[in-house]
Amino acid sequence: MIVFPGQVILLDVEGTTSSIDFVYDVLFGYAKEHVAAFLQSHSADDEIYEIAQTLAQETGIQADVRDSNGCTQLVLAAIDLMNKDVKSTPLKALQGRIWKTGFQSGQLVAHVFDDVPPSLTNWSTSGIDIRIYSSGSIDAQKLFFRHTAAGDLTPHLRGHYDTTTGHKREQESYQKISDDIGVKPEHILFLSDIGAELDAARAVGMATGATMRPGNRPFESLYDHEHIHSFADVTF
């Protein structure tokens, strides 16, 4: 149980609000299955081209991604990065664009744990500022929470952060978030299933809680973070 008298709750997604299996098996699976067709069908889209070309440069691909050879190389590189769960900003942007088609068509429906919707409702109606910090792009986060099995949860969320703010295992990222919100770190509670992320947040003064969800990886950390099994374990 965490008793938190602060103002802001910052939430991870994978392993915290949603299951790891859903993210890796369903979302990543959908992106890997559709990345080739998506790039081919959006070859004339300048925004997609810029994302794809940035990813190509990041992975050392010299060919233009509008060329069939360059596109094939990029597809293989993107799938390899997804298999390795590399936190690449252009990869996350590309995944988000692919997932958009899945969510909007109804092929994808986001999984959230049963305690998440009532907790978000209770927190937001109590005046708590709820924000998301995920390696997934901000656009993908908004799509995810707009299309959950429990309905649209975005009205409860006041802000989103991704790797454009900084990587989640870096202390500076959490200080930037605190500065952006305009509150001291000690008034922010960060919930995540990854010890290194919680350690980085704790190092700048944030309150922290380790989420123990079914299917999560073994938990390791430098600091002693309070463990919770449900958002209902957070009280004010």
**CATH number of the domain enclosing 30:** 1.10.720
Tell me the one-letter amino acid at 71. Answer: C
Residues paired with residue 210 on neighbouring β-strands, in sequence order: 192, 227
**What pLDDT does residue 124 have?**
97
DSSP 148: B
CB 189 within 8 A of CB 208: yes
* Structural domain range at position 189: 2-18+110-235
Query: Cα(173)–Cα(166) distance, rounded to whole angstroms?
Result: 5
Q: How many CA atoms lie within 13 A of 210 on its CB side?
A: 21
Q: Mark whether 96 and 178 lie in a shared domain.
A: no
Query: Cα(91)–Cα(86) distance, rounded to whole angstroms?
Result: 8
Q: Mark whether 159 and 51 lie in a shared domain.
A: no
Q: Mark whether 197 and 93 lie in a shared domain.
A: no
User: Could you say which residues of the chain have pLDDT below 50?
Assistant: none
Q: How many CA atoms lie within 13 A of 222 on its CB side?
A: 9
CB 183 within 8 A of CB 162: no
pLDDT digits (tens, 9 = 90+) for 109-167: 999 999 999 999 999 999 999 999 999 899 999 999 999 999 999 999 999 999 999 99
Q: Mark whether 117 and 187 lie in a shared domain.
A: yes
Q: Give the domain-ending residue among 62, 89, 105.
A: 105
How many structural domains is the chain composed of? Answer: 2
Query: Cα(142)–Cα(37) distance, rounded to whole angstroms?
Result: 23
Give counts: helices (H), strands (E), the chain.
9, 8
Q: Mark whether 173 and 206 lie in a shared domain.
A: yes
Q: Mark whether 38 and 114 lie in a shared domain.
A: no
Q: Mark whether 180 and 212 lie in a shared domain.
A: yes
Q: Mark whether 126 and 202 lie in a shared domain.
A: yes
Q: Give the domain-ending residue among 105, 138, 170.
A: 105
Q: Mark whether 172 and 151 lie in a shared domain.
A: yes
- What the block records as the tokens of 219 is 């938990």
- What the block records as the tokens of 82 is 């997804």
DSSP symbols for 205-236: T-EEEEE--TTPPPP--SS-PEEESSGGGEE-
Q: Give the domain-ending residue among 42, 76, 105.
A: 105
CATH of the domain at 164: 3.40.50.1000
Q: Mark whether 133 and 229 lie in a shared domain.
A: yes
What region, left, alpha or beta, does residue 25 occupy, with left being phi > 0 and alpha being psi -120 to 50 degrees?
Answer: alpha
Query: Cα(173)–Cα(201) distance, rounded to whole angstroms?
Result: 8
For residue 142, the SS3 value is helix
**What pLDDT does residue 62 have?**
82
28 closest CA partner among 72, 87, 73: 87
Q: Mark whether 152 and 115 lie in a shared domain.
A: yes
Q: Mark whether 117 and 230 lie in a shared domain.
A: yes
Angle at 26 between CA 24 and CA 30, to 5 degrees: 105
**What pLDDT does residue 87 have?**
87
